[in-house]
Amino acid sequence: LSELEALMERMKRLQEDKEDEEASQEEMATRFEKEKKESLLVISGGICAFPHFAILFTAFDDEIVSTDVSRYIEDPGFGYKDFARRGEDHLPTFRAQDYTWENHGFSLVNRLYSDIGHLLDEKFRMVYNLTYNTMATHEDVDTTTLRRALFNYVHCMYGIRYDDYDYGEVNQLLERSLKVYIKTVTCYPERTTKRMYDSYWRQFKHSEKVHVNLLLMEARMQAELLYALRAITRHLT
C-alpha cells in the first residue's frame, strides 16, 4: 500500500475498533505515558538523543542552516526546553480536565483583556475544524481523527493529557518521520527544512500540509496559554 492508502486504512480500522470496544482508563493512561516519554526527543544541531531516530536527522544535515535569531529576541539563550528530564520515571502531567481552555482559560483571559478570549477561541476553532474533507486525491473523507491526533500529540509533548482521549491513535496515525517533523516545527521552527517538509505525506497537497503546520502552531499556543493562565489562576486564588 502507498503511504496514503496505509494511513486511510489505519483511520478506518481505528474507527471500527472504537465502535467494537473502547480502551479502559488504565490502558489510555498507559498509552499516554508511553507517548509522553517517546516525545522527549531532543533535537540539537540535527542530532536526536535516541539512536533509532538518528537516521532521520542525518538525512537533513545538509540543509540545516545556522540561523541567527538573536536580532529578534532580547534573550539569545531563550528557547524550548522539555517539560521533564529524560530518564525520570514519573514525568509531570497537566490534566486538561483540571484546567481547560473552554471552562477556565477562556473566561480568565477575557477578564484580563476584554474580548481577546473570543478572538483566540475563534482562531483555535477555525484551524482545528478546517477541512476540505479530502486526503490527497480522495474525497468525502472524515479527517477528524487525524486532526485530533495531531493537535493532541503537540499537547502531549507539553505534558498535557486528555483523560477521554486514547493516545493509541497517535501511535497508529503519526509515523516516526512525521513525529520528528512535528517536534521540529513546534519546538525548533528555525531548524525546519524543505526536505523535512517534503519527506512526510508525499502524496498530499501543499494546502493539506500547510494546514498541518497551522494545527501545530495553534496547539502549541493553546498549550502555552493553559500553563500561563493556570499559573495566574493559582496566584489570584
Q: Record the cell numbers describing residue 18, joined without a space.
A: 472504537
Tell me the C-alpha distance between 221 and 234, whole Å.
20
Residue 209 has pLDDT above 50, yes or no: yes
What would the pLDDT profile of 66-102 be if each residue is shown by its tens digit?
A: 556 666 677 766 677 776 666 666 778 999 989 999 9
Residue 119 has pLDDT above 60, yes or no: yes
Angle CA 65–157–191, to nearest 5: 5
Tell me the C-alpha distance between 198 and 209, whole Å.
9
Q: What is the mean pLDDT of residues 113-124?
A: 95
Give the global pTM. 0.84
Give the residue extent of every domain in the chain: 3-64+82-236
